Structure 1
Amino acid sequence: MSAENKTPLIICYGEILWDNLPGGRMAGGAPMNVAYHLNRVGAESKLISRTGEDKAGAELVCFCSKIGLPTELIQFDELHATGEVIGKVTDDHEMAYDILTNVAWDYIAYKPNHSVLAGTADAFVFGSLAARNQVSRETLLQILDSAAYKVFDVNLRPPHYTKEILQLLLSKTDLLKLNLNELALLTDWFYKAGATEADSINYLQQNFGIDEIILTRGSQGVSYYNAERAYHGKAYQVTVADTVGAGDSFLAAFLYKKLKGEAITGALDYALAMGAFIAGQTGACPAYTTADLDKFIRQHLRDERSDKQ
């Protein structure tokens, strides 16, 4: 079956949790967000995670079911509570986030079917946060040994990472997604401070054997690098409601199009549209259809043509 006719299967691994913010409580976790948006654009997505055997965990699993995510790979933990993030406004009016530790998703247990799934899936998506605890990290490393196409969305959340763990995860990566600040940190740690972007990207590719790198630049768009060349995409202009989940939706859209055989330029543009579309709405997982996204893209193109006239 050709890539165009095949429904991609993507496995997402890591944290699911409740974000407790001044404006209210929302289900969160980058792996869940990516899985949701993959599901919305037409991929088959599965989520490997763990919640507590508590009310908060039951509510999270119920939320996943309601938004159309399969829940059979979400484990229940009798000893550890469901993950939570506590968001508070500081004295200087900035947001500070406390990602609670020693919670259920720190203890994702390895199951043999995880490796079987990862080996047959078109992509396996993971981040750095789920590697902060030894139990979930060891499970992740076992699965990565079998995964055919390993996608590392760095997603650094201080202080939940170390140089050694990042070095290990980078060495397992086929596609790396990171932002400018994350590139600067990795460059300082593994290469040399002040290196040019091109040199930094080349170093990561050569030193860690990474085939593809996506560098996100916020309102300045995105760059994609492989062994042959670089591609650059221009950001869509949108009135931002909030940016929560925009990067996760971008990754989901890019993977879907790439795995369906779309050219890199087309996959990047679709992903940029998705990121802007989600940033223009409230929450990481708003309800929408691909028809809604297509309508957004058409409107953007009309606005661009009108501006040029």
Structure 2
Amino acid sequence: MQKDTLSMTDEPSFSTTLKAIKMTNGLISFDPNLRKSLWKDLKLAKERILKVIKYANILKLSEEELYFLTDISDLKKAVEHIKQKFGTKIILITLGEKGSFYQTKEKSGYVEAMKVNPIDTTGAGDSFLAAFLYYFISNKNFNIEEALKFANTAAAITVTRRGAIPALPTLDEINNFKNKAPF
């Protein structure tokens, strides 16, 4: 199950979403995709997001969302705080042109972004997470660094195009671009 906070701004949608998450026996991926302008109360947004994080196996946050949720301005300390408080198995932090950071039970690290000339960043985070999840479920010998290179490639392609849905790359485009372009 993949969730975001767009269904969590009001009741009864939040309670229904939380109930569905609690009933899920499978993998839960959560990307808050926080849009502050959609929330009347940011304190409530933070509370609701933190309630859902405890159920996530995979958590994807932007750097800005990480600092908002933890009130810690050091990336590694903020990620460690999330890991310790919620026991999240995989934490992914998108860093824009700097790439991404990950934390698992065993290790953490940075994966560089591909160098591109961005046109529109709309959809980059969605593209990143979709590509990561595809790689995660499609590879028996899962390697998080390779998954993040794949995800960063998808995001890099997305930002070189305009719009959200039309900018999303195909699997062939990701593989071709990843094989040609250096990180």
> Which TM-score band (shorter chain)?
0.7 to 0.9
Structure ranking higher in strand proportion: 1
- Corresponding residue for residue 247 of structure 1: 125
Q: Which of residues 11, 20, 32 is equivalent to 1:134?
A: 11
The separation in 1 between residues aligned to 2:169 and 2:61, in whole angstroms, is: 26
Question: Displacement of 1:220 after TM fit?
Answer: 0.5
The separation in 2 between residues aligned to 1:291 and 1:173, in whole angstroms, is: 29
- Corresponding residue for residue 270 of structure 1: 150
Amino acid of the structure 2 residue aligned with 1:242: D
- Corresponding residue for residue 21 of structure 1: none
Query: What SS does the aligned partner of 1:130 have?
Result: coil
Structure ranking higher in helix proportion: 2
Deviations 1:137-183 (A, max 9, x none): 12211211122111110211115252321221122222111111111
- Corresponding residue for residue 281 of structure 1: 161
The separation in 2 between residues aligned to 1:271 and 1:257, in whole angstroms, is: 8
Question: Displacement of 1:288 after TM fit?
Answer: 5.0
Gap regions ≥5 residues in structure 2: none
Moved more, 161-170 or 276-285: 161-170
Larger of the two Rg values belongs to structure: 1
Q: How many residues align?
A: 174
- Corresponding residue for residue 52 of structure 1: none
Q: Which of residues 73, 76, 84 is equivalent to 1:198?
A: 76
Query: What SS does the aligned partner of 1:213 have?
Result: strand
Q: Is 1:167 the equivalent of 2:39?
A: no
- Corresponding residue for residue 70 of structure 2: 187
Query: What SS does the aligned partner of 2:35 have?
Result: coil
Amino acid of the structure 1 residue aligned with 2:144: I
Deviations 1:208-258 (A, max 9, x none): 221211011100010110111103210011121211111101100001101
Q: Is 1:238 the equivalent of 2:116?
A: yes
Question: Displacement of 1:285 after TM fit?
Answer: 1.6
* TM-score normalised by L of structure 1: 0.53
Query: CA contact under 8 A between 2:99 and 2:111: conserved in structure 1?
Result: yes
* TM-score normalised by L of structure 2: 0.87
Amino acid of the structure 2 residue aligned with 1:185: F
**Runs of 4+ with >6 A deviation:** none
Change (3 A) 1:227 1:278: same
Amino acid of the structure 1 residue aligned with 2:66: L
Q: How is 1:69-148 mapped onto 2 (pairs within 5 angstroms)?
A: 124-147=1-24, 148=26
- Corresponding residue for residue 33 of structure 2: 155
Gap regions ≥5 residues in structure 1: 1-123, 305-309
The separation in 1 between residues aligned to 2:145 and 2:135, in whole angstroms, is: 10
The separation in 1 between residues aligned to 2:59 and 2:174, in whole angstroms, is: 25
- What's the Cα RMSD here? 1.8
